[in-house]
Amino acid sequence: MAVLATFKYEEDFLAGAKRVKSAGIGELSLMSPLPLEEAQEVLGLGKSPVRRFSLAGAIIGAVSGFAMAVATALVFVLPTGGRAIISVPPYLVITYEMTILFGVLFTLFGFHLVSGLPAWRDRPYTPESNVDRFVVVVEGADDADAARAETILREAGAEETRRVEDSQ
């Protein structure tokens, strides 16, 4: 079972979230119509692992970009005016572009992996959180915990609290 509490004011929402967090009830999700650093702090979200994907992508891109240029030159030898078949300076340009291409693609992959998206299954949600309301969701709570969470959140200034099914 999940408790879903809707707030009108950002300050009340953050206060409610902090109190539920310190009470240690269930698993906490905080939904807002815009990114809020304070909400991320409540959940203790620090540096995102996405950055590791970006770095890995950039390194893999650099290596594979240079390797591709060398390998294709060796497979399809094109002698031009006695110049080197493997010519490093122009290949650095290809390496540079591939570094960025793979960096971007790996960052995208990292985003999906870390955020858990796409997720089209049913999860506690209220569309107002994408307009002008702030929502605290407490998942995995039994009846007693759900009641406790509802009390805390109402005291913090929630406009409405309701119980819904947990994420499937």
Partner 1 sequence: MFDHGQPTYAEVNRDVLSSMLETGPRYWILLGTTMTIAGVFFFMPWIYQLIVGVGAAGMNRNAVWGTYLSNFIFWIGLSHSGTLLSAVLHITNSQWRKSIYRSAEAMTLFSLMTAALFVMVHVGRLWYVHWSFPIPNPMGLWPNFRSPLMFDVMAITTYLTASSIFIYMGSVPDFAAVRDASTGIRRRLYTIFSFGWRGTAREWHTLGWAYTFFAVFVIPLAVSVHSIVSWDFALSIVPGLHHTIFAPYFVCGAIYSGTAGIVTVMYMLRKFMNFERYIGQVHLDNLGKLLIVLSMLWTYINILELFTTWYSGTSFEMEALRFRLFGFYAPLYWEMILFCAFVPLLMLFKKFRLSWNKMLVISILINVGMLTERFIIVATSQPRKFLPDAFGFYFPSWVEFSITFGSFAIFTTLFLIFIKWVPAVSIYEVKETLTPLRRDA
Among 22, 27, 67, 93, binds partner 1 (CB under 8 A): 93
With residue 2 as reference, give the H or E element that holds it: strand 2-7
Taking a C-beta distance cutoff of 8 angstroms, is the pair 167, 159 a contact?
Answer: no
Examine residue 103 and tell whether it contacts partner 1 (CB under 8 A). yes
Rank residues 52 and 142 by Cβ distance to partner 1 and give the closer one.
52
Residue of 27, 32, 54, 50 whose CA lies nearest to 139? 27
Provide the mask over 26-45, with x wherever binding to partner 1 is found by CB under 8 A and - wherever it is not. ---xxxxxxxx--xx-xx-x
Residue 1 CB, shortest distance to partner 1, in Å, is 18
SS3 164: strand
Q: Which residues are 160's β-sheet partners?
A: 6
**Of residues 1, 48, 59, 140, which one binds partner 1 by CB under 8 A?**
48
Q: Is 82 near partner 1 (CB under 8 A)? A: no
Distance CA 106, CA 5 (A): 36
The DSSP secondary-structure symbol of 126 reads -
Residue 142 pairs in a beta bridge with none
Which residues are near partner 1 by CB under 8 A? 8-12, 29-36, 39-40, 42-43, 45, 47-48, 50-51, 54, 58, 68-69, 72-73, 75-76, 78, 80, 83, 87, 90-91, 93-94, 96-98, 100-101, 103-105, 107-108, 110-112, 114-121, 123, 125, 127, 129-132, 137, 157
